Amino acid sequence: MIVFENVGLRYDLGPEVLHDVSFVIEPHSFQFLTGPSGAGKSTLMRLMFMALRPTRGAARIFDQDVATITAYDIAATRRRIGMVFQDFRLLDHMTTYENVALPYRVQGKLESDYRADVVDLLQWVGLGKRLHAYPPVLSGGEKQRAAIARAVITKPEILLADEPSGNVDPDLAYRLLRLFVELNRSGTAVLIATHDLNLLQEVNARHMVLSEGRLTIYD
């Protein structure tokens, strides 16, 4: 699904922030990406989302070589990936329903085709009564759940979540983790980047630890 071999990355002429990173993410797998702040977790997530290109090494995502991938193929590949950011990235001028339905609109689907799916999912994440609320009036937890719903609405093959519990209380963080586990059970591979040690202890999963730009994997 995602294969990195000796990947290195530097910004412009600066020092290398990732060194010889190698790993494979298998379909239906569940893993945490952890490490101290500034270790390069978000950078690695951005590499996997093709927002950055490695400066050396080989990276293949869904059999596409990231070094040579075209803009069109990046868009098509991203539709197979769900991405959750710490800062939610919801559009403030659209309702919760419209934000979650956005991936379907991008795919050119008719609203009548996806309406029931979106409503069902929003009810499942506890936002059934906030369909027409705009993000500025949602709480941090509600925004995070809306962002997760948007990431999984098209049932991606892999979910990348960058610090999904960073802006929520421990109770909600635990509930979000259960949400990810359920998604994984339904067939979606999950990678959660976090430095929340409590969260790591809740699930028996592979740990990918980044430290000073180097990756160590604990299966």
Q: Does 27 bind other proteins (CB under 8 A)?
A: no
Of the pair 59, 153, the CB lying nearest other proteins is at 153
Of the ranges 99-107, 137-145, 200-208, 209-217, which one interacts with other proteins (CB under 8 A)?
99-107
Instruction: Write down the least CB distance from residue 44 to other proteins, Å.
Output: 16
Tokens 């379909």, located at residue: 27
Question: Among 20, 216, 214, 196, which Cα is nearest to 206's?
Answer: 216
What are the beta bridge partners of residue 24? 3
CA distance to 10, 20, 87, 132, 183, per residue, from 125 (Å): 38, 38, 18, 15, 12
* Cβ 209 vs Cβ 35: under 8 Å: yes
CA distance to 11, 26, 38, 72, 129, per residue, from 158 (Å): 27, 9, 24, 19, 28
In one-letter notation, the amino acid at residue 93 is H
Q: Does 29 bind other proteins (CB under 8 A)?
A: no
Q: According to CB under 8 A, which residues from 167 to 186 bind other proteins?
A: 175, 178-179, 182-183, 185-186
Q: Does 142 bind other proteins (CB under 8 A)?
A: no
Q: Does 155 bind other proteins (CB under 8 A)?
A: yes
Binding mask 39-78 for other proteins (x = CB under 8 A): ----------x-xxx-----------------xx-xxxxx
Q: Does 106 bind other proteins (CB under 8 A)?
A: yes
Question: What are the strands of the beta sheet with 16-25, ordered from one edge?
Answer: 16-25, 2-10, 56-61, 64-65
Of the pair 3, 52, the CB lying nearest other proteins is at 52
Size of the site for other proteins (CB under 8 A): 59
Output the DSSP codes for 156-186: -SEEEEESTTTTS-HHHHHHHHHHHHHHHHT
**Residues at the contact surface with other proteins, assessed by CB under 8 A:** 49, 51-53, 71-72, 74-81, 83, 85, 89-91, 93-95, 97-98, 102-117, 119-121, 124, 131-132, 150, 152-156, 175, 178-179, 182-183, 185-186
